[in-house]
Structure 1
């Protein structure tokens, strides 16, 4: 048991540090670890991942308050509400379907989604997707519809993977609304928190939710490691070139997604 607790703390710390270095929670990398290393079933891993992500995102929002004050976030509440209107629906729908979906299909869909996220990371590192340069959609009905559609898709991904969705939310906020990337990072957390709560509430209808009671130690140690790692990642920001790190992590995520979820038990 001590060995397993230590392993979960180290895994949480490493993933949290890498996530902190690139401005993410790291849940995308946590999911393959929960399935491949700790041998949880796919649905159990998604639920545990979502529970850990909830705590980490809430902590990250507090940690970022010094850099991005809450009053600055309220100035852009319309952006968060636009995306939330779609993401809450997407999260509720996707979580409900995940409960009834055959496990083989869930594994395939998760593998494809993780592979897609890895390609997004590689694109960001190669072509500078985060650089922005102004909104690509002018304010008005078209942007509103685009925000709803983006939120819907991100909510689906967040619910199926148990992630916060920052990897998709941040570029969506930068590109659709033309906001600064640091502000986009905090706004993504504002959108992620209620989206994950809705998805998690839906998952409580599944017997797999008992994983939280059965794996209390794994949950606690991984949360502790993830929060510590996020703080360390923030302190080390700028030490490692972000583009190089994003490329490396994108490749790792792609390989682990295909290797683990193709043969998931």
Structure 2
């Protein structure tokens, strides 16, 4: 048990630090670890990952406040609300389907989604994102609809993987709304937190929700490690080349997703 606690703390610390550096919660990397290393069933891992993400994202938002003050975020509240209107619906809908879906199909969908997220990360590192350039769509009804659609899709992914969805939220905020990438990282956390709360509330109806009681020790140690890691990552924000990290993490996520969920128990 002591060795397992140590493993969960180390894994949480590393994932939290890397997530803090690039403005992500790190949950996409925790999910393969929970299934592959700690041998949880897929739905149990998603629910436990979702619970951890709630704590870690809240902490990451606080730790990033030094780099991006809260008053700066409130100036762009319209962006967060636009995406939230879609993501909350998407998260509720997807979580409901995940509970009734055959496990084999859930494994396949999760593998495809994680592989897709890894490709998004790799494309971002290769192409790069512009900072504060002109938005793809000017403010108005068309951008409102585009934000709702993007938010819905992101909410679906967040619910099915138990993640914050920053890999999709950040490029959406940068490209669709023309925001700076550092500001987009903090705005993405503002959208992620309520989206994950909705998905988490939906999962309370599942029998697998009992995993939170069964794995209290794993939850505590990994959350503590993740928060400490997120704190370190937040303080080092901007000191490590983001493109290098995105490339490395994209490859790691792709390999781990295929290896873990191709033959998930």
TM-score (norm: length of structure 1): 0.97
For 2:59, the equivalent position in structure 1 comes to 59
SS for the counterpart of 2:168 is helix
Query: Structure 2: how far apart are the matches of 1:61 and 1:73?
Result: 11
Deviations 1:61-107 (A, max 9, x none): 11222322222222211111110010000000000000000000000
Unaligned runs of at least 5 residues, structure 1? none
Residue deviations 1:228-257 (CA, integer Å, cap 9, x gap)? 111122333445432122111111110110
Following superposition, the deviation at residue 136 of structure 1 comes to 0.7
After superposition, where does 1:1-265 map in structure 2 within 5 Å?
1-129=1-129, 131=131, 133-265=133-265
SS in 1 for 2:137: coil
Shift of 1:57: 0.7
Task: Give distance in 1, aligned partners of 2:87 and 2:204.
Answer: 19
Asked whether the equivalents of residues 92 and 199 of structure 1 are also in contact (C-alpha less than 8 Å), the reply is yes
Task: State whether residues 124 and 130 of structure 1, in contact with CA within 8 Å, keep that contact through their aligned partners in structure 2.
Answer: no
CA positional deviation for 1:121: 0.3
> CA separation of 1:89/1:261 partners in 2, compared to 1, >3 Å: closer, same or farther?
same
Distance 2:233 2:71 in 1: 25
Aligned 8 A contact 1:48 1:211 in 2: yes
What is the CA RMSD across the aligned residues, in angstroms? Answer: 1.2
SS in 1 for 2:179: coil
- Give the TM-score of the pair, scaled to structure 2: 0.97
Change (3 A) 1:233 1:65: closer
